[in-house]
Each structure stands twice: as C-alpha cells, then as structure tokens.
C-alpha cells in the first residue's frame, strides 16, 4: 500500500493546468530556439530598414530649413526619405533629423562627411539609426 501512495503522489505532482504548463518541462531541459535575423550583418553594425539605410543626425540648428539641409545631404547620394521634426509649441526644429539613403555606401559617406561638421554654426553628429545587437554566443 505504501508503494501505491508513492506512485499516486508522483502522478499528482506532474499534473498541471493553465497556460504554460506544457512548456515548463521544455524550460527545464534547456532547449531554446535561437534568434536568427537572416542577414549577414555584424554584431553591433548597421542594420538596413525596410526600404533603405537610415542615419540619425543630431545637433541640427533650431532655425534650419529642410531645403538647406537637403542640399547638404544630397552631396552624399540620393536621399529617399527625410524627416525634420518640429516642436509643436514653438514651431522650431527639435534638433534632430532622420535621413534615409538607398545604398549603404551613400549612408556611410554621409556619416563620415557630416559627423563633427558644422551647419548653421552648430556642430552636427551623424550615426546609424539602427544597429544590430551584440551576439551572445
């Protein structure tokens, strides 16, 4: 009879109800899926957006105009998309812009050419908008 109690108690402890009850044993086994991006991007390197390569431009003067900045950006390649954010209260530029280039080489040359350069007496900083996370292998 004592052996029957042991068998019943082991069956009772294995029963589980609710969401995630089946996956509890999978977690204990340590079987996890890996996240693969499907791209050959280096860890910490730039990542392409859906349509192109986006750079983040900071230090934009509050009175800068789109046309003036676009003229400067077009020296580096074909600008596909350009967003210069305005403050709703003041109507001035918030100080940053998002610039999308079709080719990675154009975006890289824009970063090299614009980073630590001056525009309307303010120093610009250019960097990649999207960067791959570091790999944990």
Q: Report pLDDT for 15.
A: 72
Q: Residue 92 belongs to what H/E stretch?
A: none
112 located within any domain: yes
Q: At what angle do helices 66-73 and 104-114 cross, to 10 degrees?
A: 110
Percentage of residues of the chain with pLDDT beyond 70:
70
CATH number at residue 91: 3.30.70.330
- C-alpha–C-alpha distance, residues 125 and 74, integer Å: 17
Residues near 111 by beta carbon (within 8 Å), at least 6 away in sequence: 55, 126, 127, 128
User: What tens digit of pLDDT does each residue of 60-100 get?
Assistant: 999 999 999 999 999 999 999 999 999 999 999 999 999 99
Q: Do 67 and 134 form a contact (C-beta atoms < 8 A)?
A: no
pLDDT digits (tens, 9 = 90+) for 104-120: 999 999 999 999 999 99
pTM exceeds 0.75, yes or no: no
Confidence of residue 1 (pLDDT cuts 50, 70, 90): low
Is there a domain that residue 70 lies in? Answer: yes
Structural domain of 91: 53-128
Does 46 fall in a domain? Answer: no
Mean pLDDT over all residues of the chain?
82
Q: Spell out the residues 6+ positions from residue 133 whose beta carbon is closer than 8 angstroms to its own.
A: 43, 44
Does residue 136 form part of some domain?
no
Higher pLDDT, 35 or 121: 121
**Total number of domains in the chain:** 1
Residue 99 forms beta bridges with which residues?
Answer: 55, 82
Domain membership of residue 58 (yes or no) is: yes
Q: Is there a domain that residue 21 lies in?
A: no
């Amino acid at each position: 009879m004592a052996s029957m109690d042991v068998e019943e108690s082991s069956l009772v402890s294995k029963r589980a109800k609710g969401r995630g009850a089946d996956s509890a044993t999978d977690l204990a086994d340590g079987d996890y899926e890996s996240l693969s991006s499907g791209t050959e991007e280096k860890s910490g390197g730039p990542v392409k957006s859906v349509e192109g390569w986006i750079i983040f431009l900071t230090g934009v003067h509050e009175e800068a105009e789109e046309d003036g900045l676009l003229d400067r950006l077009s020296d580096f390649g074909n600008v596909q998309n350009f967003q210069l954010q305005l403050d709703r209260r003041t109507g001035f530029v918030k100080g940053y812009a998002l610039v999308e280039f079709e080719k990675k080489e154009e975006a890289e040359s824009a970063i090299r050419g614009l980073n630590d350069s001056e525009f309307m007496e303010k120093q610009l900083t250019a960097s990649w908008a999207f960067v791959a996370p570091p790999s944990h292998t």
